[in-house]
Structure 1
């Protein structure tokens, strides 16, 4: 009778170990898919950051050019020049954020 009980406990232990092994495999698959999703989210966040910096620089340049034209009366040259400067600043910001162009040196680092 004691042997039957030990055998049933051994069977139960083996069954639980098998279930635990399958759960561990499923958990590893879930972790791998979560890691891929995290990389995808980081890429999307970087793309949104770069595009918003680029568009903001262009809009600020256009707005300042429009205001300059209104007050000085140089229409449309202020808008054209500052819009182009805003475009250049946007491209420079995107390149800096992407790591293609180095950030300007601070006075502390000289």
Structure 2
């Protein structure tokens, strides 16, 4: 009876080892899937940020154009011009956020001072 117990313990140990190995392989696959999902979520968040910046600039331009036309009486020219300016501002904001356009005022040497200051300009 002691031999039966030892054999069953050895068989159980082998079975447990095999199950643990298979779980580890499944977990490794799950980690890769989770990493891909994280990259996908970051891309979605970036897309939402860029689209909201673009749309908000256009909406602000349209509202300001409407208000300008309402108070000054230049309808529809204020709306058209400020809507186009809002569109341009939205494109510029998206390009800046995406890193395609640099800052208009470059920083010199990383000390926080503008490059244009102190040169007599």
**Structure 1 and Structure 2 fold alike (TM over 0.5):** yes
Match of 1:105 in 2: 105
Structure 2 unmatched ranges of 5 or more: 115-121
* TM-score (normalised: structure 1): 0.88
Q: Secondary structure at the match of 1:30?
A: helix
Does 2:93 match 1:54?
A: no
* TM-score (normalised: structure 2): 0.81
Structure 1 unmatched ranges of 5 or more: none
Map Cα deviations across residues 56-92 of structure 1 (whole Å, 9 max, x no partner). 1001001101101111112222111111110000000
Deviation at 1:4, TM superposition (A): 4.3
Higher helix share: 1
RMSD: 1.8
Q: Following the alignment from structure 1 to structure 2, what is the Cα–Cα distance between the partners of residues 100 and 72? A: 38
Match of 1:88 in 2: 88
The answer to which structure, 1 or 2, has the higher relative contact order (CA under 8 A, 6+ apart) is 1
Does 2:49 match 1:20?
A: no
Q: Following the alignment from structure 2 to structure 1, what is the Cα–Cα distance between the partners of residues 113 and 38? A: 34
Q: Secondary structure at the match of 1:105?
A: coil
Q: Number of paired residues?
A: 110
Q: Following superposition, which runs of at least 4 residues in structure 1 exceed 6 angstroms of deviation? A: none
Q: Secondary structure at the match of 1:74?
A: coil
Q: Following the alignment from structure 2 to structure 1, what is the Cα–Cα distance between the partners of residues 5 and 98? A: 66
Deviation at 1:26, TM superposition (A): 0.7
